[in-house]
């Protein structure tokens, strides 16, 4: 790998995967770094005790032609399938499948949290949280949630104007295994602290059983952001029982806190890129709270980098 013609992608969610795939397709080398144990970002799946829950993003929809074509290709190849309501697609066998497809055959360093980015002449080097060094790289693309990008840039002595304007709502997510799943596979209550109840086991390619994911509404999640997980499990379980009109008879229950779950204020532009530094950022925070927005933002950043490096965009 010629690292002086290699691009570092920080973040292995949809934006990072779309950027990495596009840059590799154009003939450049890419290396992807992510602090998580696996890829997908908020397109996340939790497995435990033989159970499976999509505890992050629940589905994808296409509003534009580019992502519609991508979904159609994935559906032809069995990587996504329809679920619940018209136009909604989910990954098969889990929500990480589309991201894994984009990153197939690419270099991905999971469990690697980048702590600093360092300018070294005309190139970049990276330092991770364990003290490891990576590089040199011709360009760096950062695809974390905007507050995490701002923190990394500040720690490294750099800035990208505008990233600080994007804001997020948090979300508490409850994963429960119950004896009987509700008849409705997707419930979106109005008068409740709950924003969504999804039957994971109703999605194509999933294990059988009563596996439910419950997402709390943003205001409730914000008010209870620092509450103990046990208290969140209890409160959301009771709220779910009230929505469903029957006891859950829970066999398994765990809560996950997403500090940066859904974009509230988007930047309103496809990506940020500084051609003098060859440093850019992308994510759903650029265009809006959708998986499609993350995908399109990642593509926009990839094309900006390719154009700057003299490759066809």
Q: Are residues 239 and 173 located together in one domain of the fold? A: yes
Q: Are residues 179 and 256 located together in one domain of the fold? A: yes
Query: Residue 277 sits in a domain of what CATH number?
Result: 3.50.50.60
Question: Residue 209: pLDDT above 90?
Answer: no
Q: Are residues 10 and 110 located together in one domain of the fold? A: yes
Token pair, residue 158, equals 């750099």
pLDDT in tens, 101-120: 999 999 999 999 999 999 99
| Residue 236: closest CA among 207, 197, 278, 275 | 197
Q: Are residues 52 and 174 located together in one domain of the fold? A: yes
279 inside domain: yes
245 inside domain: yes
Give 108's contacts (C-beta < 8 A, 6+ positions apart). Answer: 12, 31, 32, 33, 34, 39
Angle between helices 65-76 and 291-308 (to 10 degrees): 110
Q: Are residues 147 and 172 located together in one domain of the fold? A: no
Q: Are residues 145 and 171 located together in one domain of the fold? A: no
313 inside domain: no
pLDDT value for 5: 82
What mean pLDDT is reported for the chain? 95
- Total number of domains in the chain: 2
pLDDT in tens, 211-223: 999 999 999 999 9
Q: Are residues 157 and 178 located together in one domain of the fold? A: no
Q: Are residues 24 and 132 located together in one domain of the fold? A: yes
Question: What is the torsional sign of CA 266, 115, 30, 93?
Answer: negative
pLDDT in tens, 272-312: 999 999 999 999 999 999 999 999 999 999 999 999 998 66
pLDDT band at 85 (very low <50, low <70, confident <90, very high): confident
How far is it, in rounded angstroms, from Cα 11 to Cα 78? 25
Q: Are residues 56 and 182 located together in one domain of the fold? A: yes
For 66, the domain range is 45-95+167-265
Question: Residue 19: pLDDT above 90?
Answer: yes
pLDDT band at 313 (very low <50, low <70, confident <90, very high): low
Percent of the chain with pLDDT over 70: 98
Q: Are residues 55 and 184 located together in one domain of the fold? A: yes
What's the gap between Cα 44 and its chain centre? 7
- Using CB atoms within 10 A of its CB, is residue 206 exposed (0-12), middle (13-18) or buried (19+)? buried
Q: DSSP assignment, residue 138?
A: S
**Beta strand segments in the chain, E:** 6-10, 29-33, 46-48, 51-53, 80-82, 89-91, 107-109, 114-120, 123-128, 133-137, 139-142, 167-178, 186-187, 194-199, 210-216, 250-265, 272-274, 279-281
Q: Are residues 125 and 259 located together in one domain of the fold? A: no
For residues 184 and 198, which has the higher predicted lDDT (pLDDT)? 198
pLDDT band at 1 (very low <50, low <70, confident <90, very high): very low
Q: Are residues 73 and 111 located together in one domain of the fold? A: no
């Amino acid at each position: 790998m010629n690292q002086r013609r290699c691009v570092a992608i920080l973040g292995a969610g949809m934006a990072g995967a779309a950027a990495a795939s596009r840059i590799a397709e154009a003939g450049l080398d890419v290396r992807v770094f992510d602090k998580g144990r696996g890829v997908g970002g908020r397109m996340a799946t939790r497995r435990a005790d033989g159970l499976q829950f999509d505890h992050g993003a629940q589905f994808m929809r296409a509003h534009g032609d580019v992502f519609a074509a991508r979904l159609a290709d994935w559906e032809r190849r069995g990587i996504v399938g329809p679920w619940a309501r018209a136009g909604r697609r989910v990954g098969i066998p889990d929500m990480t499948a589309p991201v894994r497809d984009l990153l197939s055959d690419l270099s991905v360093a999971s469990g690697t949290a980048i702590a600093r980015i360092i300018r070294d002449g005309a190139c970049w080097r990276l330092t991770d949280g364990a003290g490891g060094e990576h590089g040199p790289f011709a360009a760096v693309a950062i695809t974390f949630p905007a507050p995490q990008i701002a923190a990394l840039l500040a720690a490294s002595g750099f800035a990208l104007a505008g990233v600080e304007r994007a804001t997020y709502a948090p979300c508490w997510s409850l994963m429960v295994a119950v004896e009987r799943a509700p008849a409705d596979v997707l419930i979106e209550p109005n008068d409740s602290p709950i924003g969504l109840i999804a039957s994971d086991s109703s999605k194509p390619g999933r294990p059988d059983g009563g596996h439910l994911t419950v997402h709390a509404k943003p205001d409730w999640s914000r008010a209870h952001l620092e509450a103990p997980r046990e208290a969140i499990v209890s409160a959301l379980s009771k709220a779910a029982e009230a929505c469903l009109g029957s006891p859950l008879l829970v066999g398994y229950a765990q809560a996950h806190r997403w500090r940066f779950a859904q974009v509230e204020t988007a930047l309103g532009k496809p990506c940020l890129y500084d051609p003098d530094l060859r440093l850019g950022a992308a994510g759903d925070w650029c265009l809006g709270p959708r998986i499609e927005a993350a995908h399109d933002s990642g593509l926009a950043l990839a094309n900006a980098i390719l154009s700057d490096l003299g490759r066809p965009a």
